[in-house]
Structure 1
Amino acid sequence: TFSNWQAVKRIFRYLKGSANVGIVYKPKYKAGELEAYSDADFAGDHKTRLSRSGAVCKYAGGAITWASRKQRSVALSTTESEYIAASECVKEIVWLKELLSEIIELQGVPCLQIDNASAVKLVKNPEFHKRTKHVDIRYHFIRQKYEDGEITVRHVEGEHQLADILTKALPRPRFEDLRMRLGVLPVQGVTKVLGGSVENMTKHS
């Protein structure tokens, strides 16, 4: 269809404009700091009314894993959709902790940042809230990990929610700001900062 073709052309334009962009990690980044963000676009699919979850984990200043997917069931509130997205993100955090611990020495407890205050309260509440009685039990996995001390959870203002980029289309200024904060930077600028270039590195390798 015409709309699909327009979407394809938009993807091509983005790929052309981002050919010299890559994820940059800071070599002197403080060890052990694993950051995670989760977000949801409530009922974003106008046909199915399914919400979309977005999650991203950062280490050494750059994104190391990210995901954007439709939720399996229809959420009845913004809080519920955010809670489900957070639970899905925690599964990724647990997996990452196991993987990274084989490579480096992790310090501290991973912090999951959510921009919905009610969802944060639901995670920290030791008793099931009325509004989550109907939520599939698998999504309460997050509460177990919080109570076990394997993760911490805190509220973050919407403007600082990095996972927002994975839930819906954004205005260009907002998109580029979040992309930069995820460590996705022009490679040419990075090589200048590091005092070298890809060409020089190749010659001396």
Structure 2
Amino acid sequence: MEEEMESLYKNNTWELVQLPKGRKAIGCRWVYKIKKDLEGNIERFKARLVVKGYAQKPGIDFDEVFSPVVRITTIRVVLAIAVVLDLELEQLDVKTAFLHGDLDEEIFMTQTEGFIEEKKKNLVCRLNKSLYGLKQAPRCWYKRFDSFIVSLGFHRCEADHCAYFYDCKDGYFCILLLYVDDMIVAGNSMKYISTLKAQLAREFDMKDLRAVNQILGMTVIRERTERKVWLSQRHYVEKILQRFNMKNAKPVCTPFPTRLKMSSTQCPSSAEEKAVMSQVPYSSAVGCLMFAMVSTRPDIAQAVGAVSKYMANLGCDHWKVVKWILRYLRGTSGFCLCYSYDNLSCVGYVDSILRGFR
């Protein structure tokens, strides 16, 4: 908590003022978390001050809140390009990223529990910077980072607004991907990447994670001499298996049961059946499967697409198929996506004959 407050004071996050008439101060609270690595080992204990953003009022405390993040497909494309061109791959993390955002609205917050100044108990905090919990905090951070990285000469990709590229005249180039406070930097010059790191560190409080080894719960394994990169979600799969009590289930070898056909006739027909199925964590399980599907497991795409049709009115047979997919993941948790050295030509596949196509 003291480390967090030190960071807030250093960033000049707020100033103590009298609450204006007609305005209401938003509350705040401490959130504690134990940070662990992919192996489950404790890295550190973390305390974060969070604003109770649910008390904000539109048009008064916030307006626009949308903030983009880099697409997972973009991350995979850049990793594939890095393998083919043998690029450097580095990872950075922004400490307390949301504290760097500049607020456009005037927002007042109550003083922090445990750090209330004795002689100024009647004052409130007028926020100068965004804080975690504010509805507009992600947008404020993105706007601040976007303006800074563009000022360095980077160009924003029109297809993905969290992908930036820099093309030097002397043949060097660099690609930067941003996912909230996580960054991946790929380039053909380690010297330039080091310069970029220094520029970012002067503007933001950064943590240099060196070579990429994990991103968004995906483990990145690189064999540079063999020109290969593997993407794995083994730890994520094991976590969802444990969450839905399928860790000791019997594995199956196919992602979809061949003898079972899904249809709307299997949906509940009575109020009693609907009440029973409403207790099943169907939506949560399908959501977890979707994240694995779009990240590293395209082999379950057809099966996940089939079960997602019945999210609003699921039956017992539909839940059995979801558990079947989890059993398939149980036996294939070690499967990885592999990118190896090849050319950068675009290759497409179709499952039907195209006639009259030009």
TM-score, normalised to structure 2, is 0.17
Higher CA-based Rg:
2
Q: Which has the higher contact order (CA 8 A, sep 6+)?
A: 1
TM-score, normalised to structure 1, is 0.25
